[in-house]
Amino acid sequence: MNDALDDVRDHYRATGLTERLKSALTVFGPENEPLTPQQLGTLDQFHTRGLAATAELARLAGITADMSVLDVGSGVGGPARFLAATYGCRVTGIDLSEPFVDAARYLTQRTGQSEQVSFRAASALEIPFADDHFDAVFLQHVAMNIAERTRLYREIQRVLKPGGRFATFDVVANGGEPHYPVPWARTPTTSFLLTADATHAAIEQAGFRTLVSQDDTETAKAWFAQMRASGPPPSPNLGVVMGPDFAQFTTNLGRNLLEGRLGILAAVFENDSPKAGNHLENR
Ligand SMILES: C[S@@+](CC[C@H](N)C(=O)[O-])C[C@H]1O[C@@H](n2cnc3c(N)ncnc32)[C@H](O)[C@@H]1O
C-alpha cells in the first residue's frame, strides 16, 4: 500500500477498539443480550447527522430488499447494519482499518445480523470483488481521505451492475483552508478535499449519470448548532471509537461549516457505463 493509505490507516488505528466497545456497551446489559442497531446509533454512524443522514441517503438511493449493497469505508458498520435492518437487503462492508473491521463484526454479532451483513479489510482503491457484482454502493464520509479520486470512482463503477446506484455523502471543499484536526484527519496530510463541482465531474467521468444532488451544508450547520446547544453528547458515543480528541475534531468540523470553509454533499448516481461484454451484446 502507498504512504497516503498508511497515514490514513494510522489515523483510524483505534488500538483495543473491540475491548473498549465491549466495556462501553455494558450500559445496555450483559454481553449475551442482543442489541438493536438503533441502540448503537450514537456510536456507529461516523458521519455528519448520524443515523438521519444514512436513512435519508438510503431513501434517495431507492434501496430495496432484493439488493446486494456494498458499503465502501464501512467504519464500525452502523450504516451497513441500518440498511440490512431497515430494508432486508444483504450488505457487505469494506474498510482499510482492521480494528474497525473487527469492531464492525463484533457489533454485528451483538445485533444478530451476521448472516446478512459481513465485513472485510480492503482498500477502496482495490475492491476485492468481481465486475458487475453489486446493485448499490454506499460511500459516506470516506472520499475526503482518498487522493486518487478517479481510481476510487472507477473501482466503484467496476463492481456495480449496469444501472446500479452509487450513493455518496461527503465533506467537500468550499473555498477556505479547514481548521484541523477534523474527524478524518489530524493534519492536511490525510485530507484530500474536492469541491462539490469537482466531485461531480470526477464521478461522471468514471461513467455515472447524476440522479440526485443535494447541498446539505445548511442542514448540517443546523445539526451542529443543535448539538452544541444540547450539551454533552449521549453516551456511549464516537469518543469510544476515536478517543478523547473526538470532541475537538467535531467542534472543528462544525466551525469549518459555519465559517464557509467546508460543505456537505449528498448525491446519488446511476452506473451509466456499459461494460465491455454488455456493450458487445447490445450491438
Ligand atoms: C469517517 S469514517 C466513516 C465510516 C462510515 N462510512 C460511516 O459513515 O459510519 C471513514 C472511514 O473510511 C475508511 N477509509 C478511509 N480511506 C479508505 C480507503 N482507501 N479504503 C477503505 N476504507 C477507507 C476509514 O478507515 C474509516 O473507517
Q: What is the pLDDT of residues 64-93, one digit of tens each?
A: 999 999 999 999 999 999 999 999 999 999
Q: What is the pLDDT of residue 267?
A: 98
Residue 235: predicted pLDDT: 87
Q: Around 30, how many Cα atoms within 13 Å sit in the side-chain half-sphere? A: 1
pLDDT at residue 54, as a whole number = 98
| Ligand 1, atom 12, residue with closest C-alpha | 73
Cell of 239: 469518543
Q: How many separate domains does the chain show? A: 1
Bridge partners of residue 94, in order along the sequence: 72, 120
Question: Of ligand 1's atoms, which has the minimum distance to the CA of residue 139?
Answer: 6
Q: What is the CATH number of the domain that holds 187?
A: 3.40.50.150
pLDDT at position 280 is 40
Protein residues with CB under 6 Å of any ligand 1 atom: 5, 8, 12, 45-47, 73-75, 78-79, 94-97, 100, 123-125, 140-142, 145-146, 183-184
CA of 27 to the centre of ligand 1 (A): 27
Residue nearest (by alpha carbon) to ligand 1 atom 13: 73
Yes or no: say if 13 and 99 are a contact pair by the CB < 8 Å rule: yes
For β-strands 208-215 and 262-271, DSSP reports them as antiparallel
Handedness of CA 73, 74, 75, 79 (dihedral sign): positive
Q: Which atom of ligand 1 is nearest to the CA of 125?
A: 19
Cell digits of residue 111: 445485533
Type of residue found at 245:
D
Strand ranges across the sheet with 208-215: 117-121, 90-95, 68-72, 134-140, 160-173, 262-271, 208-215
For residue 182, how far is its CA from the centre of ligand 1 (angstroms)?
14
Residues spanned by the domain of 87: 3-282
In testing the pocket of ligand 1, which one of 142, 154, 250 has its CB within 8 Å of the most ligand atoms? 142
Cell of 200: 461531480
Tell me, what's the pLDDT at 279? 41
What residues in the chain have per-residue pLDDT under 50? 1, 276-283
37 closest CA partner among 124, 135, 112: 112
Atom of ligand 1 nearest to the CA of 183: 1
